[in-house]
A and B are shown apart, each in its own frame.
Chain A
Amino acid sequence: AQSVAQPEDQVNVAEGNPLTVKCTYSVSGNPYLFWYVQYPNRGLQFLLKYITGDNLVKGSYGFEAEFNKSQTSFHLKKPSALVSDSALYFCAVEGGATNKLIFGTGTLLAVQP
């Protein structure tokens, strides 16, 4: 069965520092991987996806993610964090023959000024 794990409930980082939000996956076959961000009382906003091709995927708002097949990871990164990046981040994998998304448990990113 397809699954993703986000091992950190919360990540704290100072503004201007690089940030990493971790995600590992377990899939049969080639993975379709996604990152979404959720602000309070809002829906999810699409950040980026990996389908195939370059392992480094660039997305919205300066975020990028690196697909690592050997480590089965898809960590989200940003070189310089902003206070406005503070939100809940979800990693997701598209499940099997359907296009259903299976979400991780979410990681709360807190960027301190």
Chain B
Amino acid sequence: GAVVSQHPSWVICKSGTSVKIECRSLDFQATTMFWYRQFPKKSLMLMATSNEGSKATYEQGVEKDKFLINHASLTLSTLTVTSAHPEDSSFYICSATGLGNQPQHFGDGTRLSIL
């Protein structure tokens, strides 16, 4: 149980393109979803927290207009990297949690490469 699916797993695109990443909870209702960024050989950096039906809460230093997060349903959150540039290249990981003391369950990540 507690499966989180993240799509796509790998994206290569040109500078200036906007890229959408989907995160789905397949077998539970995700009241809260989290988006992380991970640099090579580094820990995870929390970008934002999203609760279903409300605006995402962004961490300090994360541009909300650059990284658009939508959490329209209890099973789906999306992260859109707008007008992506090479410095946005990274490994993006989502996680989801439901009610109670559930641990966060993570997707398999999306490797984003901007040329």
Q: Which residues of A contact B (CB under 8 A)?
A: 32, 34, 36, 41-46, 49, 51, 90, 98-101, 103-106
Contacts and interface: CB of A to CB of B under 8 A. Distances in A.
Contacts, number: 51
B24 to A, nearest CB: 13
What secondary structure prevails in chain B residues at the interface with A?
strand
Contacts of B91: 41
A101 B106 CA distance: 12
B109 A42 contact: yes
Contacts of B101: 32, 51
Interface of B: 2, 4, 6, 32, 34, 41-44, 46, 49, 91, 93-95, 97, 101, 103-109, 111
B109 A46 contact: no
Contacts of A90: 43-44
Given A98-B49, A100-B34, A44 B43 contact: no
B103 A43 contact: no
A99 B93 contact: no
A101 B95 CA distance: 10
Contacts of A99: 32, 97, 104
A46 B111 contact: no
22 contacts: A34-B103, A36-B106, A41-B108, A41-B109, A43-B93, A43-B106, A43-B107, A43-B108, A44-B95, A46-B104, A51-B101, A90-B44, A98-B49, A99-B97, A99-B104, A100-B46, A101-B46, A101-B104, A103-B43, A104-B43, A105-B42, A106-B43
Contacts of B103: 34, 46, 49
